[in-house]
Structure 1
């Protein structure tokens, strides 16, 4: 979500972005008067820049405005937003034309706040909204996509949802500065956190990928990645849960995992396991079940390593699913147990 990062250096700004800073400093009345002198294409470019700009540092404003010889530092930082653009456009364009321009920008811009919020995990968004006043929450919900609102409302509870819907129905046009304040809060508190969570989610996906890789391929990747991203690789490996880690489960948990495995995957997984691992599994089973399993493994003869890996992966996946549902507990992560 780094489209909302602060603009810190004027030389990185495009022409429309510098023009956008000028209009924001002029304010709605003077900015509207000046914008009337532009053609439709120029208006569209500047409006797009204002809508996606976010926070601009005071020193950048000063640098852009230095040729005017004004005391721009008195402005401090400024904030560009969709509502700020709307306020400027309303001064000289009909309402339907204003909506048309902004809808075109919002539909195509990757920096649209409300689109990004609508795509967030509903639990994360609900956690933020729970702390806010209902009027603020209603404003936010009124700008999210219908799908996002339908997911978030149930998480806020029945009584609060009733009040929120009432407020959304009765909502009037809010002042631009109030909308801007809400937008800035959402950018800094919600989207920033989402950016941090995105890295954690990416790491979680890689853990699952690594769990399913052939051991030789994983070993080769690890050697190269160790030289490039040693800290990230160490973090991923610490979170990995592989077939041999099943031996660290409590006996009751291991029994549940074995019951989840389908077909002949249990004997196949053990047939290709290390001797110590195989014996651990067998020792945790009742005598009759153990004897039957040994017979199945002996009847298999030679097995393909690919088939063994798939069977072991199914057992690991079964353990992870049982842990997610709270039926079993995985062993605590320990650096001493890290796979090298």
Structure 2
């Protein structure tokens, strides 16, 4: 992979007393189209219906984003029964991770107006799982237990019709109801390489296993992992901006270390970096999970520039052009430049 400078050096620069440092800035990084759409839905709902707008669970796994939406008038709840009766005409937004079918059914029973911000690529996995089920197959879901997306996907089907596996060891001990009638889907934010190993083992044990019509791991997860994989060799440190409960961010940390970075760390802000323990570093890799805003990436770059004579190299792989439309009820609502800057994480 060739790295190109992010900016041209000045014709004359004073000699710096700081240690030289190269920052390999991965691209693509940060917000994906699904996250962008989910945040946009909350912002548009606030503009159209006024505050408060309720959001069930974190709209995306990032405290900076959640706190920014709270400042605009969003209220985050764990369950729908937390919405007070006097606010039940206000919209409630379901998060980008998707929800079980029981959640919109509960909203209907409570006469709530809801807007579903489920990422279209997660919805695609739901449809793949439901198709397996319609065809009479028992569904094997590859994913992480307890993750909201996994809970949402399993909740699309009748109880007992989905089995969850996380690792190759899980596959080795798995006893399906009918080994010859299985179909699999995966969580969208898994490690591409790890998941390939799990799928390979499933096919070895169950030769009649049916794959989904298209890959379940989403384009954004794949693209970010590939960029990190190519940038990691030779890095003394690799930083991934993301939340501890963000699956795709944690996978990037693992990919960076496996691909050659001497150490790989997940951080939420520049203040999380343990500057005194970094030691001698010459090359730092930097990327961000799909729910991490660009403003924090820039914050970290500036924090390095304050301490090092840092230059930024762009480690770009592909350009992402995906764009997902918001709900029909919101498409007529205009966004200001300030709104768009927030939605884009700038």
More helix per residue: 1
TM-score higher than 0.5 here?
A: no
More strand per residue: 2
Bigger radius of gyration:
1
